[in-house]
Structures are given as C-alpha cells and as structure tokens.
Amino acid sequence: MSDTKERLERWRAVQAWLTYQQHQVARTITALEAALAEEQNRLPLPPPPDWKAETIRTAGGPQVLRVHVGGCGMGKGKPIGRDQARRMLADGVEACPYCSPDTALGMPG
C-alpha cells in the first residue's frame, strides 16, 4: 500500500472517531438540557406580591385602573407596597370588586 493511501485511511479513521465523539457530545448535551428543564420545572413559583396596581395604556401614559390584592386573578398588574396601595385607594383609584383590597387594608369601602 502506498504511503498516501495509508495516510488517507488513517485520516478517515480519525474523521470517523471524531464524528462518533460529536454524536456523543450532542446526545450528552440534549440529556443535560432535558435534566435542567426538569429541575427548573420543579422549582417553586415565587409568591405573589401583597398588592398590585392594574394599569392601562393611554395617550398620556399608563393610568392606574384598580388596586388588587396580590393573589387576585382578575387583573394583571405591577407589584406595589402596602403604603402605595393605601395611597392609591385614598386618592380615588378603584378597588377591585372581587378581591376587595380596601377591606383587606382596613379602609372604609
């Protein structure tokens, strides 16, 4: 066998081995990604905020529509603090009729 032919066969063997290794790496990465996704699905969800402000977009910018108790499912909103929720309700922002944040805050309805 000629030297060139032997070298070609060796390089083909190296190529086959590298292809095998690439497939092994790809399978391992896929398995690790699946394991990571499963781990992340088992993590507990963060607790809901205590209070939230439901807003809408207007031409003049965002406007607060209602104040909700944090776990209320009736409106999406950004988390706010207790004092901010009390101020908003005192300033005339509507309290959600389903979760009654005014009652939960001990404010007159």
pTM over 0.75: no
Give the mean model confidence (pLDDT) for residues 73-77.
Answer: 85
Residue 77 has pLDDT above 80, yes or no: yes
The confidence band for 76, taking pLDDT boundaries of 50, 70 and 90, is: confident
Locate the domains of the chain by residue range: 1-43, 51-104
At residue 1, the pLDDT reads 66
Considering the chain, what is the average pLDDT of its residues?
A: 92
Strands 61-69 and 51-58, sheet pairing: antiparallel
Q: Do 96 and 90 contact (CB within 8 A), yes or no?
A: no
| Helices (H), ranges, 43-78 | none
pLDDT over 90 at 102, yes or no: yes
**Tens-digit pLDDT profile for residues 2-22:** 899 999 999 999 999 999 999
Q: Are 54 and 76 in contact (CB under 8 A)?
A: yes
